[in-house]
Amino acid sequence: MKNWFHSWRAAVRIARRDAWRYKGRSFLVLAMIALPILGVSAVDLTLRSSELSASESLDRMIGAADARFNDAAVAGVPILQTPDGEMHTPAKDYGDKVWPSGPTDVTKTFPAGAVVLTDSSGSAKLTTAHGLLQTEVRELKAADPVARGILTLLDGRFPEKADEVAATSHFLETSGLKVGSALSPRGSDTTYRIVGSYELPNDLKTDQVNALPGAFLAPYAKAVEKAGLTAPGVSTTYLVKTPGGFTWNMVQQINTKGVAVTSRAVLLDPPADSEVPLYQKDGWANFETSAGAQAAELAALGTVVGLAMLEICLLAGPAFAVGARRSRRQLGLVGANGGSRSHIRAIVLSGGLVIGVAAAVTGTVLALILTFALQPLLEDAMGQRFGHFDIRPLELLAIALLAVLTGLLAAIVPAITSSRQTVLASLTGRRGVRRSSRVLPLVGLGALLLGGAIALYGSLVSDQFVIVAGGSAIAELGVVAMTPALVGLFGRTGRWLPLSPRLALRDAVRNRGRTAPAVAAVLAAVAGTVAVSTYAASDDAQQAAEYTARLPHGAVSALVVEDGGRDVPAVREAVQRLFPIDTRADVNRVSVGKPGCSPYGEGAGCGRYEIVIPPANECPLWARSDRGEDPSEKFSKEERRKLAEDWRCQEHSGGFHGDGGLLVGDAKLLKVLGIEDAGAEKALAEGKVVSFSKAQLDRNGKVTVKVITDTEKALKAEQEGKPAPGTLTALPAHQVSGDPNSYGVQALITPAAAKAAGLSTVPLGSFYSTERMPTAEQRQKLDGEIAKLGSDVDFHLEEGFVGESSIVLLVLTVFAGLVTIGAAGIATGLAQADAEADLKTLSAVGAPPRVRRTLSGFQCGVVAAMGVILGSAAGVLPAIGLRLTEERERLRFYEESLDEGWGAMSSPPYVPIVVPWETLAALLVLVPLGAALLAALVTRSRGAVARRAAI
Amino acid sequence: MSTQQPVLRLQNLTRVHGSGATEVHALRGIDLDVFPGELVAVMGPSGSGKSTLLTIAGGLDTPTSGRVIVENTDITTADRKALAALRRRSIGYVFQDYNLIPALTAAENVALPRELDGTSARKARGEALAALQEMDLGHLADRFPDEMSGGQQQRVAIARALVGDRRLVLADEPTGALDSETGESVLALLRSRCDAGAAGVLVTHEPRFAAWADRVVFLRDGAVVDQTARSEADSLLSGQAAER
């Protein structure tokens, strides 16, 4: 043991000094190993620092209070809640019956003598330097000690008077305002002065304004209602501080009054799951810590780390081999002085150890410095402040150990190869014949067959991605292990080649020890790239095929639902001005109740309408039943499959999702949507409804509109399985001939006809056809204009399917290209170190100087070409396997859905397999060519003048 | 002297490279004993088998037949590990040039065989410094090889060849890359080490360096064609001195 230690010390000393002597090569390998370590350590530091402790996150949630009380909105019936108070449900089971809903008086649940702060949130449209901005308004006495920790004051102070507000720094940035500016909500004559800026440590990107309780939301609601619009909703919670805090028992007591509580004491010392009644309820079990999910995550992480390490080892390995080859005589001298094979191995391995340790230290230290220095930037990017700079020494050490391990692994093969050389061969520089291992290719073949069989089983018999992916990974490793043998096969093609490529190929094949790792590195990178590219290209093709256009190509829609379409004229004007518009079709929607009501009848004084489908036209699979059971259960599988093809059960998917199904507009809309039906235009002119859905028309050819004013009654009726009460109006209708794509529009009526039928309408927006596709610049300008309105505009420009994977494919191709050139370059350097003698002989027999260049070019090209050819083959296959599995899975799902009677909603799966020829061509042709040219360019035509054998 | 046990004994040594048509007889039935305190020079034209003799004597190559006995151990039957240990403890090599490991200082180079043998770094360094001092090379201890002249490097190599208990130094043209004056000083050092009790085999093709030896063995085509006695070597040496 002691002897072993002393001889290793000598080995490490030699390796350390050698690493220092050959700084360039050492730096290259060090960078290769240190960069991933830097990345992973930085991610670890960032994630750990952004993970808050229970107490830190409590400070941000409830400040210095002991608890936050929250109305569960179940009309005060007892509830059960999770310990953090985030989820709750009524304690009683209501099943299909109507659930209780409504507010309760939270203030009654406060213990006597408690200090209470109200915390109310709502929203408002605020005037800014650029226009209007939809902003969250929070009424909280932020300066109160109880609230300390929720908002972080950055500048100025929190509001102290009713006409003062503070704003988040993000709001100030977006709005162009600053501390000292005045601010007023839209439609209100109250002005507020911004007296401070703050941030929410958990959400740095919120646009929020803070005011004193009662100072903002109530006056704003009044102003909005005065304008005939619906006031935005306000939610109020209470921060409560009481001596002793709130235990889990107290929280459960408060729950009986329909109030949920987030308590500091409970979160700092959470009850066991068995003490949480909610978790005992059916379907509410605590899923937070699932061992299976964690294991799967760990396995995935392990695979990624393992593959990354393999790739680095394959890349760094040849560099160590170069080092060992260059210092062959030195190793021979050690042998002559009594160094045994293990000593030689120790010296070369020490090279890996030294670089690995250096990389570990460099990577970890840089990660610490960078994370610390870039903390503000990282926090901004994550939108969240760190709790504290959290350094986990054990985790960092484990990551650093990976670097050491990588260094050692990369040096193993060169170490074994060097130690096998005889001392005499090392001293005299005789190369001798190096046999590659015969076992490795056999093991590789075994792994290839086994992995292939697993993947095949996965794609043909099972439909589990994991099996296919796992099998492919094993097969891939098998191919990597078989590389030396495969490289040998390439040698046979040599005899037909001209001198330089022939020499390069023979050299590469004869010296498999150095060629194989480089080829394997290229192989692994290319295989991964090709697999992902093939999968992504296939997925793209599938998405393109499944894409449903929301509008005809080039058409535009801009719709505004909120505030009764107050901003519609401004939006129309902006689109008309900035886009090359051909036809504009203005549309309104039917409104029930106040003009500012939302389409679905939420809010006081608001209602909704619907088109009544005659019972005879209803799809039996979906027909409403009295008892609330699933209507499709009455049918057998075969009947369901048959019914799915019935016209009543066909559903048209489209882009426009109207409210009740009736859109108010004129014949221009037909033109914009590309619907040609002379009868339809005529029908509109005659005041009829134009219907695109056969099911809407009753036997008399009429469409019936039901106006529902009492939405609460309607809801109750629906829950009981009865039709909602409302006023029915039957309108004459025209059924559009054929079955044109109406892009989701179900029925159309002119404004005049709607008025005549007693339906009131509000502006909704417009559909446009364009003369040509708007340019990116025009689109950006319009985005800017719309943003200034502060309005929630549903804008769509139909561009057809736009693939998202092209950038990914490009990045992957570039990555694989770089790895290929890197690995081929390293292998070429190695070949050059070896071939000095051959080159001297060549020039002695009269070869022109350029042979040196062309030879090194071809050496590089040969390695790159072998790698990309093998890698492409190895990459396409798993991708095909994955696609086949996916197809089987989707087919199974489709059959099931047909059986269940959902068939009408889905179409038979289309899972194409598309080979990304551009990527493959770039990898197969351009990359080897580029590598060869690069190597030829950087090689000197003349060798160093008769250099003596380097030690 | 002949009553003593030889440090190196070669018995009927043959070495054949290749087989069949490419068969080359590098050594044919060589017998040679080298005693403590004796320096034997091996001379002969290129390809006569001088270097092969030396590599086989040091266990770097194996003979086709015959025996090599170093310090009473038959190294032809020893395994690789035992051979390496023998090179650490008994046999020292000096080659024509580049004898020193560039990553190590002179002292570390000398200490290397001891450290590889498991001696602690401090003890090995002490022994190395002692060896260097003894040969008046103490001032070179902390220099790296590229900070030393060729002659200095060769002398450090001799110090390394004889560090610890090693008693056999095998020198293959140790002066080949040096000018004649430096070569003489290297030979003088080798001579003095042999006078102090080491056994040395010196391969050279320069008669004036061979003159430092007690005995000269002439090789041609792998066989000993002539051997001088010690006195003849002396006369060669004096002749050499007269020429100078």
Q: A863-878 pLDDT, tens per residue?
A: 888 888 888 888 887 7
Average pLDDT for A239-266: 91
Whether the CB of B38 is below 8 Å from some CB of chain A: the reply is: no
Q: What is the mean pLDDT of chain A?
A: 81
- The per-residue pLDDT for A160 is 93
- The per-residue pLDDT for A353 is 93
The secondary structure of A302-362 as a DSSP string is HHHHHHHHHHHHHHHHHHHHHHHHHTHHHHHHHHHTT--HHHHHHHHHHHHHHHHHHHHHH
Whether the CB of B88 is below 8 Å from some CB of chain A: the reply is: yes
- The per-residue pLDDT for A117 is 92
Whether the CB of A330 is below 8 Å from some CB of chain B: the reply is: yes
- The per-residue pLDDT for A261 is 93
- The per-residue pLDDT for B244 is 37
Q: Lowest-confidence range among A284-298, A470-484, A604-618, A628-642?
A: A284-298
Q: Lowest-confidence range among A76-90, A707-721, A919-933?
A: A707-721
Give yes or no for a contact between B139 and B108, defined as CB atoms under 8 angstroms apart: no
Residue A716 scores a pLDDT above 90: no
pLDDT in tens, B49-73: 888 999 899 888 889 999 999 988 8
- The per-residue pLDDT for A948 is 38
- B116 closest CB neighbour out of A2, A10, A17: A10
- The per-residue pLDDT for A654 is 59
- B118 closest CB neighbour out of A7, A336, A423: A7
- The per-residue pLDDT for A137 is 93
Say if residue A154 is exposed, middle or buried (CB neighbours under 10 Å; 0-12, 13-18, 19+): middle
Q: Do B121 and A336 touch (CB under 8 A)?
A: no
Q: pLDDT band at A262, cuts 50/70/90?
A: very high
Residue type, position A691, single letter: S
- The per-residue pLDDT for B230 is 55
pLDDT in tens, A734-767: 888 777 777 878 888 888 888 887 888 888 888 8
Q: Do A13 and B160 touch (CB under 8 A)?
A: no
Whether the CB of A422 is below 8 Å from some CB of chain B: the reply is: yes
Give yes or no for a contact between A579 and A766, defined as CB atoms under 8 angstroms apart: no
Q: Do A17 and B55 touch (CB under 8 A)?
A: no
- Token pair recorded at residue A61: 């949630």
Q: Lowest-confidence range among A266-280, A310-324, A636-650?
A: A636-650
Whether the CB of A950 is below 8 Å from some CB of chain B: the reply is: no
B166 Cα to chain A: minimum distance (Å) = 11
Shortest CA distance from A14: residue in chain B: B103
d(CA B49, CA A456): 63
Say if residue B235 is exposed, middle or buried (CB neighbours under 10 Å; 0-12, 13-18, 19+): exposed
Q: Do A951 and B84 touch (CB under 8 A)?
A: no
CB pairs under 8 A between A and B: 94
Whether the CB of A423 is below 8 Å from some CB of chain B: the reply is: yes
Whether the CB of B125 is below 8 Å from some CB of chain A: the reply is: no
Question: Alpha carbon of A118 to those of A70, A140, A214, A601: distances in Å?
Answer: 11, 6, 10, 29
Length of chain B: 244
Residue B171 scores a pLDDT above 80: yes
Whether the CB of A431 is below 8 Å from some CB of chain B: the reply is: no
Q: pLDDT band at B234, cuts 50/70/90?
A: low
- The per-residue pLDDT for A232 is 80
Question: Alpha carbon of A179 to those of A144, A171, A703: distances in Å?
Answer: 21, 11, 58
d(CA A423, CA B62): 12
Long-range contacts of A75-78 (CB under 8 A, 24+ apart): A75/A100, A75/A101, A75/A102, A75/A103, A75/A104, A75/A258, A76/A102, A76/A104, A76/A105, A76/A257, A76/A258, A77/A258, A78/A255, A78/A256, A78/A257, A78/A258
Q: What is the mean pLDDT of chain B?
A: 85
Residues of A in contact with B102 (CB under 8 A): 21, 330, 951
Q: Do A6 and B120 touch (CB under 8 A)?
A: yes
Shortest CA distance from B144: residue in chain A: A17
Average pLDDT for A218-232: 81
Q: pLDDT band at B46, cuts 50/70/90?
A: confident
Residue B130 scores a pLDDT above 80: yes
Give yes or no for a contact between B63 and B14, defined as CB atoms under 8 angstroms apart: yes
Least Cα distance to A861 among A932, A766, A794 occurs for A932
Strand partners, A732: A702
- The per-residue pLDDT for B203 is 92
H-helix or E-strand spanning residue A740: none
Average pLDDT for A686-693: 83
Residue B2 scores a pLDDT above 60: no
DSSP 3-state percent helix, strand, coil across chain A (nearest 5): 55, 15, 30
Q: pLDDT band at A303, cuts 50/70/90?
A: low
Q: Lowest-confidence range among A152-161, A316-325, A366-375, A586-595?
A: A316-325
- A21 closest CB neighbour out of B61, B103, B120: B103
Question: Alpha carbon of A512 to those of A485, A488, A516, A585, B154: distances in Å?
Answer: 9, 8, 5, 72, 37
d(CA A547, CA A533): 20
A524 Cα to chain B: minimum distance (Å) = 36
- Strand duo A132-140 + A115-127: pairing: antiparallel
Phi, psi of A174 (to 5 degrees): -70, -35
Residue A950 scores a pLDDT above 60: no
Chain A interface, best mutation among B81, B100, B116, by max A CB count within 10 A: B116
- A338 closest CB neighbour out of B98, B116, B120: B116
Say if residue A179 is exposed, middle or buried (CB neighbours under 10 Å; 0-12, 13-18, 19+): middle
Residues of A in contact with B119 (CB under 8 A): 6
pLDDT in tens, B99-129: 888 888 999 999 988 888 888 888 989 999 9
% chain A with pLDDT above 90: 14
Residues whose CB is less than 8 angstroms from the CB of residue A47 and which lie 6 or more positions away in sequence, other chains included: none
Shortest CA distance from A421: residue in chain B: B60
Q: Do B98 and A13 touch (CB under 8 A)?
A: no
Shortest CA distance from A340: residue in chain B: B84
Q: Lowest-confidence range among A103-107, A422-426, A688-692, A843-847?
A: A843-847
- The per-residue pLDDT for B240 is 46
Residues of A in contact with B55 (CB under 8 A): 424
Rg, C-alpha atoms of chain B:
18
Give yes or no for a contact between B61 and B139, defined as CB atoms under 8 angstroms apart: no
- B87 closest CB neighbour out of A4, A336, A951: A336
- Token pair recorded at residue A790: 């502060």
Whether the CB of B118 is below 8 Å from some CB of chain A: the reply is: yes
Average pLDDT for A920-947: 74
d(CA A148, CA A141): 10
pLDDT in tens, A58-74: 999 899 999 999 998 88
Whether the CB of A567 is below 8 Å from some CB of chain B: the reply is: no
- What is the torsional sign of CA B74, B79, B84, B85? negative
Least Cα distance to A684 among A703, A659, A705, A665 occurs for A665
- What is the torsional sign of CA A447, A452, A453, A457? positive
H-helix or E-strand spanning residue A33: helix A23-50
Least Cα distance to A90 among A260, A222, A225 occurs for A260
- What is the torsional sign of CA A337, A341, A343, A344? positive
- The per-residue pLDDT for A1 is 53
Whether the CB of A650 is below 8 Å from some CB of chain B: the reply is: no
Shortest CA distance from B104: residue in chain A: A14
d(CA A840, CA A389): 60
Residues of A in contact with B60 (CB under 8 A): 335-336, 422-424, 427
A816 Cα to chain B: minimum distance (Å) = 37
Average pLDDT for A699-722: 79
Whether the CB of A4 is below 8 Å from some CB of chain B: the reply is: yes
The secondary structure of A231-298 as a DSSP string is PPP-EEEEEEE-TT---HHHHHHHHTTTEEEEEHHHHHSPPPGGG-HHHHSTT----S--HHHHHHHH
Average pLDDT for A390-411: 89
Residues of B in contact with A335 (CB under 8 A): 60, 84, 87
- The per-residue pLDDT for A153 is 92
- The per-residue pLDDT for B243 is 41
Q: Do A329 and B98 touch (CB under 8 A)?
A: yes
Q: Lowest-confidence range among A31-35, A483-487, A943-947, B16-20?
A: A943-947
- The per-residue pLDDT for A120 is 93
B116 Cα to chain A: minimum distance (Å) = 5
The interface pTM score, or ipTM, of the predicted complex is: 0.83
Residue A462 scores a pLDDT above 50: yes
- The per-residue pLDDT for A653 is 58
The position carrying tokens 């697999």 is A531
Residues of A in contact with B86 (CB under 8 A): 338
Residue A879 scores a pLDDT above 90: no
Which residue did the predictor score with more confidence, A46 or A309? A46
Cα angle B19, B20, B21 (rounded to 5 degrees) comes to 115
Strands (E), A360-442: none
B115 Cα to chain A: minimum distance (Å) = 6
- B55 closest CB neighbour out of A14, A16, A424: A424
Residue B200 scores a pLDDT above 70: yes
Shortest CA distance from B83: residue in chain A: A338
Q: Do A338 and B58 touch (CB under 8 A)?
A: no
Residues whose CB is less than 8 angstroms from the CB of residue A296 and which lie 6 or more positions away in sequence, other chains included: none
- Region of A775 (left: φ > 0; alpha: ψ -120 to 50; beta: rest) is beta
Residues of A in contact with B17 (CB under 8 A): none
Least Cα distance to A254 among A109, A400, A408 occurs for A109
Chain A interface, best mutation among B81, B86, B112, by max A CB count within 10 A: B112
- A343 closest CB neighbour out of B58, B93, B116: B116
Q: Burial code of B63-96, b = ≥16 C-beta within 10 A, e = fewer?
A: beebebbbbeeebbebeeeebbbbbbbbbbbbbb
d(CA A454, CA A551): 45
d(CA A472, CA A458): 10
Q: pLDDT band at A465, cuts 50/70/90?
A: low
Least Cα distance to A406 among A351, A443, A365 occurs for A351
